[in-house]
Structure 1
């Protein structure tokens, strides 16, 4: 399971957008590729509810993904999470591995 991420809240996301994008992309690409390279049978990537558009209908349907602008306060983190989801999809398509993604929700 890949749940690792650099997080920090609204102020940190606004102050360090490049670091949030770079660090989270580095975590995801290194773990996903290493899982593939070492023959990992399954990988579950945990995304984030922030990957959905800011004005997605409520409750948010799965097909709302990539249908509108993201919340600006965590856009860079969200973009990295979307990239991780798509990376698992690409590895599954190209290499036939069982790498999937799930988006846990924020209840409060």
Structure 2
């Protein structure tokens, strides 16, 4: 039985409570069992935006990872990266087409 998860997340924030952060770990743990022990197929579909812990956890664990065109996919937002690292994030570097070219996921498919 294949599992398909459509991901859309602006990211969980610590001020929203640790429960939201723990849910990502729980989902990832269940997916490990689903994929590795039960040997079942998981497809992850990344929509815009898919950011934060979802990107760092179950969003990128699919046997096949699909993105929609021009989706904004990142761990941290452009502003956060620029302010934290005191650097400029190249335009488009957090968009699906750029990340696809880097091999981050499989096909780009419109809805």
TM-score range, shorter-chain basis? Answer: 0.3 to 0.5
The higher-RCO structure (CA 8 Å, 6+ apart) is 1
Comparing both structures, which one devotes a greater share of its residues to strand?
2
Q: Which has the higher helix share?
A: 1
**What TM-score do you get using the length of structure 1 for normalisation?**
0.40
TM-score by length of 2: 0.39
